[in-house]
């Protein structure tokens, strides 16, 4: 938990005017952060966001294949940042660390987190702790869970939905990008019994950065450009995560039809969701429920009636824009939700979650407005 007293004592130091700004900035960053997997897209996005965070300072970064290198040599857009060189995870010293962002691939994260000091606050951006049922994890990810005892204490970190649980958590499982864009509009409507629990159809589209930074033939420019690519049809690994969140909101089992698509853009995500309404429920009822649910939220914005959310209006930001529209088919509605898959869909939500865990305002380090054009 953050201590204002600690900040005031440190801020009382008064060095010479020329260096006062730099020193006070460093002294105020009393939460010492490690970024594991800093050479990937989500890791580098964590670094970008923390550059303007008043209290989180990076003291450790790991990247096994890039060990010994500076982050600026891997990501030139971050060359201005004063950061430690990256080291291999096995060589990492956590004695000067308070909190960890784990940006490693699924399957490798469980053992690493299991071996971390118990006093650390951890936000895991992989899928390893998102599914509460470890047998379901094994079914969808093809390997047994290596830390079932940690899975029991992990809190699913959809911030606007699970804020109070996150506040007291030691380990937060940061949601996937698709599940974030889908659950934010659907959970309040399901809880209010305003949509049918059957025949939910979800059509989602993502920028290529969602596939990670690894070299893959399918992600080459000539393979991706000038086309739309459906993938993971009926078997995408985010399906159980989506259904878990929606089923908990409904307190009964929900099965959805979900198809993701890869779009020829670097970042951005849109989910178009088709739902049925119970007799007597209107699209205006859905709109008013979403308005009530998110009227006090900074990062989830319900647009004015009739306005269509666009991915270009959230690029580089932690915002989720959404709206609801009447379908031509009576009794049905269409929900549209957009996020930046690397920010609200990953690193931004991770920072938001650690802010909550540390007792800080949620928007710290996240006041980036969308980039347009």
77 lies in the same domain as 162: yes
For every one of its 373 residues, what pLDDT tens digit does the chain have, with 9 covering 90 and above? 554 433 332 333 333 333 333 434 444 589 999 999 999 999 999 999 999 999 999 999 999 888 999 999 999 999 999 999 999 999 999 999 999 999 999 888 999 999 999 999 999 999 999 999 999 999 999 999 999 999 999 999 999 999 999 999 999 999 999 999 999 999 999 999 999 999 999 999 999 887 666 667 777 777 878 889 999 999 999 999 999 999 999 999 999 999 999 999 999 999 999 999 999 999 999 999 999 999 999 999 999 999 999 999 999 999 999 999 999 999 999 999 999 999 999 999 999 999 999 999 999 999 999 999 8
Distance (Å, rounded) from C-alpha 245 to C-alpha 229?
26
354 lies in the same domain as 281: no
Residue 125: CB partners within 8 Å, gap ≥ 6? 42, 101, 102, 103, 174, 346, 347, 350
177 annotated active-site: yes
Range of the domain at 216: 177-339
The count of structural domains within the chain is: 2
94 lies in the same domain as 189: no
Residue 304: CB partners within 8 Å, gap ≥ 6? none
| CATH code, domain carrying 109 | 3.40.50.720
* Structural contact between residues 237 and 141, judged by C-beta atoms closer than 8 angstroms: yes
Structural domain includes residue 67: yes
Catalytic residue among 102, 103, 177, 320: 177
Structural domain includes residue 18: no
In this structure, the strands spanning 99-102 and 121-124 are: parallel
User: To 10 degrees, the CA torsion angle through 312, 41, 341, 230?
Assistant: 100
Helix-then-strand count for the chain, H and E = 13, 13
**Which pLDDT value is given to residue 46?**
98
Structural domain includes residue 297: yes
65 lies in the same domain as 132: yes
Phi, psi of 271 (to 5 degrees): -115, 125
Distance (Å, rounded) from C-alpha 72 to C-alpha 82?
9
| CATH code, domain carrying 272 | 3.30.360.10
Q: Please tell me what DSSP assigns to residue 279.
A: T
Structural domain includes residue 194: yes
**Which pLDDT value is given to residue 28?**
52
* Structural contact between residues 351 and 49, judged by C-beta atoms closer than 8 angstroms: yes
């Amino acid at each position: 938990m953050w201590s204002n007293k600690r900040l005031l004592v440190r801020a009382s130091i008064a060095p010479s005017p020329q260096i006062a700004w730099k020193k006070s900035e460093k002294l105020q960053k009393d939460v010492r952060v490690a970024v594991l997997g800093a050479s990937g897209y989500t890791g580098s996005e964590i670094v970008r966001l923390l550059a303007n965070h008043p209290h989180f300072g990076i003291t450790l970064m790991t990247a096994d294949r890039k060990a010994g290198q500076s982050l600026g040599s891997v990501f030139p857009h971050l060359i201005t940042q004063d950061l430690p060189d990256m080291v291999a995870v096995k060589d990492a010293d956590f004695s000067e660390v308070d909190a960890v962002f784990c940006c490693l691939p699924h399957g490798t994260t469980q053992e690493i987190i299991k071996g971390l000091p118990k006093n650390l606050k951890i936000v895991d951006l992989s899928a390893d702790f998102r599914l509460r049922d470890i047998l379901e994890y094994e079914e969808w990810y093809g390997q047994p869970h290596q830390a079932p005892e940690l899975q029991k204490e992990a809190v699913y970190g959809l911030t606007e939905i699970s804020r109070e649980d996150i506040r007291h958590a030691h380990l937060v499982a940061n949601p996937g990008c698709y599940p974030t864009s889908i659950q934010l509009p659907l959970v309040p409507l399901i809880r209010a019994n305003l949509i049918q629990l059957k025949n939910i159809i979800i059509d989602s589209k993502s920028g290529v950065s969602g596939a990670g930074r690894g070299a893959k033939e399918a992600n080459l420019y000539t393979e991706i450009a000038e086309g739309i690519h459906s993938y993971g049809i009926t078997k995408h690994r985010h399906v159980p995560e989506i259904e878990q969140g929606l089923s908990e909101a409904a307190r009964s089992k929900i099965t959805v039809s979900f198809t993701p698509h890869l779009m020829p853009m670097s970042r951005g995500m849109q989910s178009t969701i088709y739902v049925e309404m119970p007799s007597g429920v209107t699209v205006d009822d859905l709109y008013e429920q979403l308005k009530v649910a998110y009227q006090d939220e900074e990062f989830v914005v319900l647009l004015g009636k009739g306005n269509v959310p666009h991915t270009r209006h959230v690029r580089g930001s932690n915002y989720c824009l959404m709206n609801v529209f009447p379908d031509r088919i009576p009794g049905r509605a269409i929900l549209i939700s957009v996020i930046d898959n690397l920010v609200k869909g990953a690193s931004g939500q991770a920072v938001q979650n650690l802010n909550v865990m540390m007792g800080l305002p949620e928007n710290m380090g996240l006041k980036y407005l969308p980039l347009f054009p």
